[in-house]
Amino acid sequence: MSSAALPAPLPAPALLQLIWLASPALPVGGFSYSEGLEAAVDAGLVTGEAAARDWLVDQLTLALGRADLPVLAQAFTAWQRHDVARITALNDWVRHTRESQELRQQAEQMGRSLVEWLRNSDARDDPRLATLAALAPAPTWPVAFALAAARSGAPAEAALQAHAFGWAENMVQAALKAVPLGQSAGQRILQALLERIPAVVESALACTDDDRQAFTPMLAILSARHETQYSRLFRS
């Protein structure tokens, strides 16, 4: 491949901002959720490394790739225009399509936490932050992440890759604790997820409103069961 065919590298400030947003250390509480995985372990559906890998690959493709990542891509563009009506509609869609109370609470809690993080950053004077904070009853995680990513100056594709990687790293850490698994197994699962992220992101960028969907019935059932699970490590 010639150098002319290579994509232009991200400027260092944009790249570092995305790394920051993808970090499990970002104080939004992503580490405290397993998104139904813990209930799947309790039900005997995920019993080892191979099952955990397949579960998370399916969740990446069928859940994140068809719902949150398309919302993020569309909200990213809407934030660039500060299109309040579009942003509100996307936020409402996320809330209304969360299939359990836990999953909705997660989306709202992480969205609120990112608002607070932005308020303590150089985004505090950005008029779009007031729009995000005013979303009722709460800003949701993918819509809030879209604003933070749009402010970085990175393109939408890189923003979606960062979001997907952050999700993957958090979910692998959840698998290490819930299954449980060793660190080497976790790295192999993370590698499997990373190999699939580019295609999932490409599909999400091309997703229209009519294509976007949130339909993962087994995940919804397990999430609802997790709400009353006798012993658990995670909030969802």
Reported as a single tens digit per residue, the pLDDT across 131-165 is 999 999 999 999 999 999 999 999 999 999 999 99
In whole angstroms, what is the distance from residue 66 CA to residue 69 CA?
Answer: 7
What is the pLDDT averaged over residues 111-118? 97
Q: Is 87 helix (H, G, I), strand (E, B) or coil?
A: helix
Q: Is residue 90 part of a domain?
A: yes
What is the pLDDT averaged over residues 31-58? 95
Neighbouring C-beta atoms of residue 57, cutoff 10 Å:
17
Residue 127 has phi, psi (to 5 degrees) of -60, -20
Determine whether 227 is exposed, middle or buried from the number of CB atoms within 10 Å of its CB (0-12, 13-18, 19+): middle
Is the pLDDT confidence value at 110 over 60? yes
Could you list the residue range(s) of the whole structural domain that residue 192 is in?
30-226
**Residue recorded with tokens 């698994």:** 181
pTM, whole model, 2 decimals?
Answer: 0.94
What is the pLDDT averaged over residues 23-40? 91
Find the helix packing angle between 141-152 and 12-22, rounded to 10°: 160
Q: Is residue 207 part of a domain?
A: yes
Q: Is residue 173 part of a domain?
A: yes
Q: Is residue 11 part of a domain?
A: no
In whole angstroms, what is the distance from residue 75 CA to residue 164 CA?
Answer: 15
Number of domains in the chain: 1
**Closest by alpha carbon to 93, among 21, 146, 163, 55?**
146
> What are the structure tokens assigned to 228, written together?
């009353």
Residue 25 pLDDT: 87
Q: Is residue 16 part of a domain?
A: no
Q: Is residue 15 part of a domain?
A: no
Q: pLDDT averaged over the chain?
A: 94
CA distances from 66 to 98, 190, 201 (A): 13, 20, 10
Let me know the angle formed at the C-alpha of 37 by 209 and 196, rounded to the nearest 5 degrees. 55
Residue 228 pLDDT: 82
What is the pLDDT averaged over residues 67-94? 98
Residue burial 64-90, b: 16+ Cβ < 10 Å; e: rest: bbbbbbbbbbbbbebbeeebeeebbeb
Q: Is residue 123 part of a domain?
A: yes
Q: Is residue 13 part of a domain?
A: no
Kindly report the CATH number assigned to the domain that includes residue 139: 1.10.4190.10
